[in-house]
Every structure is written in structure tokens, then in C-alpha cells.
């Protein structure tokens, strides 16, 4: 066959491949990649058979690697989506750690990153924690412990003896004591073993020992007369001063010569004008409707005119033991003025014409017949009383532009003229299999066109070039001879040939150029 005949057959095959690829093409959106990043910039969505490469952060490994020497993963777009999907896995853990006095449920030899192993304590022990350890990046975390629920010998109680003595007691088991002669129990006569510890240990005091005068309670008064001598068991009640809040039962009791559980009167808060003035606030309300508040009461403030606060919830504070944490209003308010909006050809989009609270956002819109310069925002923020108004310009006003910039291989959807008005927009497109990078829409602003896009050329995989380099496409079931810019192309050596660096068998289409690897004959 002549050279022209061979070229005709090759072109016919390529045409059929391209048509078939167009009919079967599927698009894959950008995959969600955690704990990693893409190796290159990709323009998503991508078509079927295109591959992407990604790197994983430290302590993570890619789900799919071409070979053990590679440090990056590969995901390929198929008709069913990404296969395999782009994913960074933490390092696995080997067999689970042994926990003293515990056993493992469903033990395995290998655990995936993020997988849990569950433990259960042996009889006589209880779990400290949730009972599960987790594999994170090759290490076991949150390893539980098992604590003994047994108690040792019964504790010693002064002026008393236990009815029974053992070396070990089980949880919930009690020991009963008996006070020596002339002594009585303050409360219970039993000690309780609970989860390996003795609790509720009794005390024996002198029987019927009286107390002297009751203790004085700051900001409180007794409701009954004071006695010089108060018998064992005497209970006296107190009342707190006005606005002071009682903490406790309000009683003090004589127990074997000691006054126990005296009450406490907590101080109220006084709202001071000088503190409010210093913080640019005024009183809004107090729960008891006075300038004083009891412990635990809430006090509401408001900002003075011309001041604001970032969060209005901070204006509600609680009285804690006589102390008020006053809020501070330091941010000045912004006043939206009609003359300023008129000068900038704008009006409010959502709000009525009034004051704007500090740190709030306000959104404007252009007046009819006006347009905002591209890149500028109509939503602005009030900061410390100052606001920068956006400016809208009249449509068609401004210096015109000449012919739109030419894009090699590209064309515009709109008709091109020698002159275009300020604000005109041209939409660019590239031929099939060419990748458009940059702005799809280019606008004329004040006599200058914005930066145009670029059409990145595709690559044609030539059978002759593969034959000269002793290689073929890696994917035998793929007759793909056409690749878009940035696409990854994988080759393999022909039988009987080899290459020293396997990484060079993967190359990329770079604006129509393919760098072919070369395999040499073995032996």
C-alpha cells in the first residue's frame, strides 16, 4: 500500500475513534479528596478515560498506586464515575494491643485506619472509658483500662470497731461499725465498697457533747435568740439581708460539740452609672426592677446612641457573687445617607433608609440604567462608623474598545465588530477536544478588553511513533489515540523490551505534544 493509502486508512480509523468517543463520552465532576491534594491543575468536569493524580498528606497513603515505588495515587473517569475513587487512607494498625484484665471482642490481625476494637473487662473489673480503642494513622488511640471493683480490708474508724473483717470485699458490700462507749455516730454506721473504693465512712463523736454560741454568718441574722450553751442536735435558722441570696439549707446544727453546715449569704450586684458610662451602655432592665440584683439574676443593657456591639447577646449578663461583667459598646454605627447613595448611583436592596448597626452588612443595587464595574461588590460592611459605598456607572458610558482579542483556535459566539461599547461582553469557545483555560466571557471596560482565554491543543497518539519507541498503550481494551491537554497517557513496553525507569511510562499531553518513552530490547 502507498504512503497516501496508509495515511487515508489511519485518518479513517482516527475519525471513527473520535466519533465513537464523542458518543460514549461521560463527564466526571471533581472528586472529594480529604487529607490530600491534586498533583496538577485540572479543569473539571473531565471526560471518560481521563485520569487524575493526587498526593496524600503526611501519615496518609493513596488508595490506588500504579506501583510500590510511586508516592501518588491515580483515579480514572469511567462511565460509572471515578474508578478507583481518589482517597487518602491513614496507615493501618496491626493486631490490637492487650489490655490487662480485659479481653477483645472479634479480634483480627489487621485493622483499617479509623476502625475500632472493642474490649470487655473480666469479672471483678469495670471499664474506665467507652471500652473501645481506635486505629488512627497506624497507632492505637483511646486505649481503655479495667479497674478492679474489689475493695481491700475495711477502713479504720476512730473510736469504733467493725463487726466483720475480710481481706477483700465486693462492690456494693457494706461493713457495719459499732462506736465505743461514750461515743455516737454522726450519721450512718456503715461503710460502702463501691467500684474498688470505700465511701460513706462513718465517724464516732462524743455522745451528747454540746456546742457554744452559733457561728456568725456574714450578711445574715439568726431567727432565734442566741444561747451560751447549745445541746447536741440543736438546729438554728438564719435569714439573709435584703437582696442577699441564701445558699444552703439556712440552718446550722450542733453535732457532738461542733456546728456543721452553716449557710452562706451571697452578695447582690449594684449597677453603677460610672461603669455604664465608661462602657457606652445604659440599663435596659433588671429582674427585680431595681438598680440592685441578687446573685444569679440577669441584667439587661443597651448601647448608647452612636455605639454598637458585635453580638447583642453580650448585652445580657448575670450577677455572680456581687460582680457584674459589664459589656462594652465600642463600635460606632453607620448612617446610610441618601445623598451618598445618589452620588454613587445606588440604592438599598433590602433595608429601609435608616441607621445600620455596626458590623452588619448592607447590600445595595444599581439604579436603573447603571452597572457595577466587574470585580467590585455591591455588598459592603460597616466598620467603626465608616462605610465604603460601591459605585455604579451608566450602561454604555465609558471609553469603547476595538476588536476583541484573537484566541488561537478559538472563536466568539457573538459577532465581532471594529468597535464595541463599554460593558460589551464576548463569549469564547474552543473546538472539540480543545481545553479552554481562562475567562469564558471577556468584557470591555473603559477602553480595554479583559484577559482572553487560551485554547489548549489536544494530542494525537501516532501508531508509528509508538512502534519506533517499542511501546504500546497500557490499556489493551482502549483504542484511545486522541488525548486532551493535561490528560495522562500510560504506555507499556512491547514483549521482549524493557525500560530502566518505569515512571517514564506515564506522560501527559502538553498542548499537542507527547513525550514518548523508549523501550530497549532485552539482552
Would you state the pLDDT for residue 486? 86
DSSP string for residues in 265-302: EE--EE--HHHHHHTTEEEEEETTSSSEE-TT-EEEEE
Would you state the pLDDT for residue 261? 86
DSSP string for residues in 375-442: T--SEEE-BTTB-----EEETT-S--B-SPPP-TT-EESSPP-S-B-TT-EEEEE--TTPEEES-SEE
Query: Which residues have a Cβ under 8 Å from the Cβ of 419 and sit 6 or more positions away?
Result: 400, 401, 402
User: Which of 372, 413, 256, 385 is CA-nearest to residue 329?
Assistant: 385
The residues facing 232 across adjacent strands are none
407 near 428, Cβ under 8 Å? Answer: yes
151 near 196, Cβ under 8 Å? Answer: yes
Helix, strand, or coil here: 56?
strand
Rounded to 5 degrees, φ, ψ at 278 are -65, -25
Would you state the pLDDT for residue 11? 44
C-alpha cell at 31: 472528586
Would you state the pLDDT for residue 171? 85
Contacts 24+ apart (CB under 8 A), 246-255: 246/220, 252/214, 252/215, 252/217, 254/210, 254/211, 254/230, 255/186, 255/205
Cα 208 from chain centre: 64
pTM for the model: 0.34
The residues facing 426 across adjacent strands are 442
Per the listing, cell 473603559 goes with 446
The residues facing 222 across adjacent strands are 238
Q: What residue ranges of the chain have pLDDT lower than 70?
A: 1-26, 66-70, 286-290, 351-360, 373-376, 384, 396-397, 476-480, 523
pLDDT digits (tens, 9 = 90+) for 177-223: 999 887 888 778 899 998 888 988 888 877 777 888 999 999 999 99
Would you state the pLDDT for residue 446? 73
Would you state the pLDDT for residue 357? 57
Rounded to 5 degrees, φ, ψ at 161 are -135, 150
User: Which of 318, 272, 315 is CA-nearest to residue 298?
Assistant: 318
Map out the domains of the chain with their CATH numbers: 3-85 (2.10.70.10), 102-148 (2.10.70.10), 160-206 (2.10.70), 220-266 (2.10.70.10), 269-332 (2.10.70.10), 334-394 (2.10.70.10), 411-456 (2.10.70.10), 459-521 (2.10.70.10)
Query: Which residues have a Cβ under 8 Å from the Cβ of 19 and sit 6 or more positions away?
Result: none
For the chain, the residue count is 523
Would you state the pLDDT for residue 374? 61
* Distance, CA of 204 to CA of 220 (rounded, Å): 31
Contacts 24+ apart (CB under 8 A), 55-62: 56/88, 56/89, 57/88, 59/90, 59/91, 59/137, 59/138, 60/35, 60/36, 60/88, 60/89, 60/90, 60/91, 60/137, 61/88, 61/89, 61/90, 61/91, 62/36, 62/86, 62/87, 62/88, 62/89
Dmax (CA) of the chain:
132
Would you state the pLDDT for residue 428? 95
Would you state the pLDDT for residue 290? 61
Amino acid at each position: 500500500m502507498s504512503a497516501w493509502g496508509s495515511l487515508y486508512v489511519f485518518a479513517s480509523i482516527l475519525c471513527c475513534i473520535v466519533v465513537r468517543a464523542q458518543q460514549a463520552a461521560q463527564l466526571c465532576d471533581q472528586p472529594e479528596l480529604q487529607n490530600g491534594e491534586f498533583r496538577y491543575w485540572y479543569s473539571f468536569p473531565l471526560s471518560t478515560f481521563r485520569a487524575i493524580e493526587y498526593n496524600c498528606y503526611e501519615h496518609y497513603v493513596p488508595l490506588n498506586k500504579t506501583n510500590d515505588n510511586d508516592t501518588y495515587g491515580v483515579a480514572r473517569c469511567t462511565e460509572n464515575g471515578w474508578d478507583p475513587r481518589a482517597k487518602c487512607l491513614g496507615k493501618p494498625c496491626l493486631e490490637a494491643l492487650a489490655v490487662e484484665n480485659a479481653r477483645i471482642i472479634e479480634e483480627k490481625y489487621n485493622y483499617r485506619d479509623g476502625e475500632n476494637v472493642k474490649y470487655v473487662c473480666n469479672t471483678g473489673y469495670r471499664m474506665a472509658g467507652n471500652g473501645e480503642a481506635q486505629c488512627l494513622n497506624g497507632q492505637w488511640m483511646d486505649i481503655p483500662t479495667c479497674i478492679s471493683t474489689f475493695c481491700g480490708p475495711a477502713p479504720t474508724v476512730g473510736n469504733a470497731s467493725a463487726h466483720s473483717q475480710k481481706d477483700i470485699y465486693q462492690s456494693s458490700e457494706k461493713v457495719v461499725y459499732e462506736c465505743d462507749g461514750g461515743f455516737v455516730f454522726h450519721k450512718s454506721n456503715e461503710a460502702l465498697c463501691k467500684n474498688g473504693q470505700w465511701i460513706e465512712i462513718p465517724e464516732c463523736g462524743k455522745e451528747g457533747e454540746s456546742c457554744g454560741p452559733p457561728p456568725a454568718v456574714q450578711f445574715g441574722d439568726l431567727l432565734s435568740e442566741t444561747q451560751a450553751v447549745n445541746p447536741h442536735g440543736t438546729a438554728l435558722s438564719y435569714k439573709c439581708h435584703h437582696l442577699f441570696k441564701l445558699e444552703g439549707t439556712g440552718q446550722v446544727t450542733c453535732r457532738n460539740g461542733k456546728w456543721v453546715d452553716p449557710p452562706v449569704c451571697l452578695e447582690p450586684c449594684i449597677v453603677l452609672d460610672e461603669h455604664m458610662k465608661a462602657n457606652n451602655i445604659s440599663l435596659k432592665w433588671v429582674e427585680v426592677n431595681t438598680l440592685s440584683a441578687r446573685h444569679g439574676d440577669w441584667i439587661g443593657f443597651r448601647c448608647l446612641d452612636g455605639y454598637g456591639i458585635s453580638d447583642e447577646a453580650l448585652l445580657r449578663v448575670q450577677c455572680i457573687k456581687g460582680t457584674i461583667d459589664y459589656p462594652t459598646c465600642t463600635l460606632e454605627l453607620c448612617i446610610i445617607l441618601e445623598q451618598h447613595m445618589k452620588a454613587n448611583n445606588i440604592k438599598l436592596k433590602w433595608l429601609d433608609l435608616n441607621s445600620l448597626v455596626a458590623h452588619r452588612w448592607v447590600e445595595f443595587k444599581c439604579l436603573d440604567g447603571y452597572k457595577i464595574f466587574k470585580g467590585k461588590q455591591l455588598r459592603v460592611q460597616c466598620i467603626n462608623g465608616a462605610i465604603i459605598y460601591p459605585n455604579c456607572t451608566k450602561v454604555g458610558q465609558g471609553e469603547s474598545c476595538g476588536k476583541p482579542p484573537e484566541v488561537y483556535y478559538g472563536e466568539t459566539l457573538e459577532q465581532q465588530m471594529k468597535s464595541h461599547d463599554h460593558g460589551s461582553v464576548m463569549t469564547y469557545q474552543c473546538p472539540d477536544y480543545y481545553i479552554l483555560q481562562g475567562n469564558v466571557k471577556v468584557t470591555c471596560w473603559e477602553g480595554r478588553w479583559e484577559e482572553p482565554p487560551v485554547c489548549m491543543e489536544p494530542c494525537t497518539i501516532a501508531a508509528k511513533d509508538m512502534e519506533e519507541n517499542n511501546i504500546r498503550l497500557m490499556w489493551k481494551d482502549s483504542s484511545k489515540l486522541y488525548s486532551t491537554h493535561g490528560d495522562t497517557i500510560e504506555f507499556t513496553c512491547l514483549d521482549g523490551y524493557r525500560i530502566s525507569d518505569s515512571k517514564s511510562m506515564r506522560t501527559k499531553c502538553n498542548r499537542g505534544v507527547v513525550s514518548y518513552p523508549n523501550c530497549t530490547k532485552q539482552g
